[in-house]
Amino acid sequence: MIKSSMLNSAINGVLAKLGHTDQIVIADAGLPIPNSTERIDLALVQGVPSFLETLRAVLPVMQVEKIILAKEIQTQNLQLHEELLQLIAYYSGLDSSKKPIEIMYISHEAFKAQTKVESCKAVIRTGECTPYANIILESGVVF
């Protein structure tokens, strides 16, 4: 048995296979997921699990060097954006020997296109039903 806070075997499997600059997505219930990208569907009902609950479960077990957000979240989901920035700041500050997690904003259309590229290994679908509650996590290295 693996000693980790992550209990979901599909998420554990994807994380274990990530290399430097590989990406995963944590998505709201409405983000289109390409057939070519692995789908890990956690959605039960509207809001369960939430985007932030899912992100809080993944961040402690994944080395993240960069996140990508749709720029629309800055105006269309301000509260979630602020909570997200606080969470990223917290995880950036945990290891002072590493660079802070880089934050990049792109259009929602470019975000959706990014889910189709080879470096995007999986999309984790949540039950979140608020606009632009999506994030791309880019894998870093632990050394």
Report how far apart the first and last C-alpha atoms of the chain are (Å, whole number).
Answer: 25
Q: Tell me, yes or no, if 20 is annotated catalytic.
A: yes
Annotated binding residue 132: yes
Annotated binding residue 41: no
Annotated binding residue 28: yes
Annotated binding residue 22: no
Options 9, 13, 16, 20, the catalytic residue? 20
Take residue 110 and report the two structure tokens written for it: 């470019």
Amino acid at 1: M
Annotated binding residue 91: no
**Count of C-beta atoms within a 10 Å radius of residue 51:** 26
At residue 70, the 3 state secondary structure works out as: strand
> Where in the sequence numbering do the catalytic residues fall?
20
Binding site for substrate, residues?
28, 108, 132-134
Binding site, residues?
28, 108, 132-134
